[in-house]
Amino acid sequence: MRNLTLYSIKNMTFLLLFSCMFLACAEDKKSAVVADGNITAPQDPKNLVETETKKGLINPEGKTIQERFNTPKNFTRIPLKKKDFGTYLRKLPLKPFNSKVKYYDGREKYNDNVYVSVVAMEIGTRDLQQCADAVMRLRGEYLFEQHRLQDIHFNFLSDGKPRYFTKYAKGDHSYKKFRRYMNYIFAYANTASLRKELTKVPNIQDMQVGDVFIQQGNPFGHAVIVVDVATNEAGEKIFMIAQSYMPAQETQILVNPKNETLSPWYKANDDTLHTPEWTFESSDLRRFKN
């Protein structure tokens, strides 16, 4: 009887160990990652999160447009020279991820699927830097950074004539004077005057970083600026855009409301551009002359 009892206990112990091993293997298989038809070993959850972030289109830790936004699979950013306007735009500093856009008076703009990031650039405390103004501000900042002071000029709406920074500055080429000049421009220029100043881009496929979609409207128009462009081997282009709006507010990187998978990138093969707060046509694409 004693031998029988010991035999039973040994069998039960063996069955228990076998069951635990089976359950452990089953759990491992359940948590294994299947890729390309092969089962790989399970990964640490922290590593999985990090991998997914790198493979996604958004890197929350990125400090600039180029660092924060990755290109989709098979797309690469178009090559640019170090001193190009497009290079300046790609390197625009961004506020921490999930920051809210602020109006000129300090109020926050509710983000109803409008923007994905905010450009880290002060806009002053007056209701001046709106849509076309933000485009001119970026262009002016670029030229000032490149010490191309003689090229900083924008047309007034009243007479269509350019106002030059060098003439306005009267020898004071400080950044403080430059900001005063830009506010001076914002007060007397708008989408209508800027649109006339820019050159038409006949084919959207010829888009470059720094191009502008702009409508003069009646009474109001709007403008968004292309802050990045990428392409694939088939020659397809995608792009990213930024805007300010009314009332004056910080410049923001827009989401793509029509394609959440591609957002914040847009395809350059559509005749109509649907942004969160405005609709443009491909015929609205313009470019700075120099």
Q: Print pLDDT tens along the chain (290 aa).
A: 434 343 444 444 434 433 433 333 333 322 332 232 332 333 343 333 332 333 599 999 999 999 999 999 999 999 999 999 999 999 999 999 999 999 999 999 999 999 999 999 999 999 999 999 999 999 999 999 999 999 999 999 999 999 999 999 999 999 999 999 999 999 999 999 999 999 999 999 999 999 999 999 777 899 999 999 999 999 999 999 999 999 999 999 999 999 999 999 999 988 999 999 999 999 999 999 97
Same domain, 70 and 189: yes
Task: Tell me whether residue 230 is in a domain.
Answer: yes
Same domain, 15 and 130: no
Task: Tell me whether residue 233 is in a domain.
Answer: yes
pLDDT of residue 80: 98
CB 189 within 8 A of CB 132: yes
Task: Tell me whether residue 252 is in a domain.
Answer: yes
Domain extent at residue 257: 64-287
Same domain, 10 and 83: no
Same domain, 126 and 229: yes
pLDDT of residue 220: 86
Give the other-Cβ count within 10 Å of 266's Cβ.
22
Give the other-Cβ count within 10 Å of 16's Cβ.
10
Give the other-Cβ count within 10 Å of 215's Cβ.
19
pLDDT of residue 290: 75
Task: Tell me whether residue 228 is in a domain.
Answer: yes
Same domain, 28 and 108: no
d(CA 69, CA 53) in angstroms, rounded, equals 11
Same domain, 23 and 127: no
pTM above 0.85, yes or no: no
Task: Tell me whether residue 77 is in a domain.
Answer: yes
Task: Tell me whether residue 59 is in a domain.
Answer: no
d(CA 219, CA 191) in angstroms, rounded, equals 10
Task: Tell me whether residue 259 is in a domain.
Answer: yes
At residue 106, the 3 state secondary structure works out as coil
pLDDT of residue 55: 53
Same domain, 267 and 128: yes
Q: How many residues in the chain?
A: 290
Which 8-state DSSP code applies to residue 102? B
Give the helix ranges, DSSP H, for 131-269. Answer: 131-145, 165-169, 175-188, 191-197
Same domain, 148 and 21: no
Task: Tell me whether residue 58 is in a domain.
Answer: no
CB 121 within 8 A of CB 250: yes
Same domain, 48 and 147: no
Give the helix ranges, DSSP H, for 32-174. Answer: 45-55, 65-68, 85-90, 131-145, 165-169
pLDDT of residue 32: 30
Q: How far is CA 267 from the centre of its chain?
A: 14
Q: Which of 266, 271, 213, 268 is nearest to 243 (CA)?
A: 213
Same domain, 189 and 264: yes
Give the other-Cβ count within 10 Å of 179's Cβ.
16
In the chain, the number of structural domains is 2
Same domain, 48 and 81: no
Same domain, 25 and 80: no
pLDDT of residue 217: 79
